[in-house]
Amino acid sequence: MKTPKILVSACLLGCPVRYDGQSKPVHHTLLQRWQANGWLVPFCPEQAGGLPTPRLAAEIQSDGRVMTGCERDVTTAFVRGAEQALTLCQQQQIQYAILKESSPSCGSSNIYNGQFSGQKIPGEGITTRLLRQHHIQVFSEQNLDELFALLS
């Protein structure tokens, strides 16, 4: 079997790239094994899109725009970061991604509702949507076992 490459949200590997300057490390044996094997390609679409760290929290609005709580439109940066993630996947023949659930970039099954109320709704982030449109399978940190089964 060819060694798989897996795009992964850098924050899940402990990199402090989230909007609040923090990380969300996942201490799962599968992720640790894949990292030790050199399968993981860390990436933060929001940073790649040109946003600083830390940055204002952003959520996808009902019209599809990505806005901060101060009503700053950051859609262009989110789209640019998603496009860079896709380019990286195409260049490195990456077919799988593990992205941070609920993120406006990376959410794979839910995102925040766009009202900055802390409520989640079914949906996917900008990067997840673009990757899936190009047949890259996206998983979250919550379903690593599904990816393991697929790779086995």
pLDDT recorded at residue 152 = 87
- Name, in order, each residue with C-beta under 8 angstroms of 151's C-beta and a sequence gap of 6 or more: 4, 96
CA–CA separation, 109 and 33 (whole Å) = 25
Q: What is the pLDDT of residue 2?
A: 67
Triad 28, 86, 17: Cα angle to 5°: 50
- Where are the domains positioned within the chain? 6-15+24-151
Residue 3 has a pLDDT of: 78
The whole model's pTM is what? 0.96
Give me the average pLDDT of each 10-residue run along the chain (152 residues).
87 97 96 95 98 97 96 98 98 97 98 97 98 98 95 89
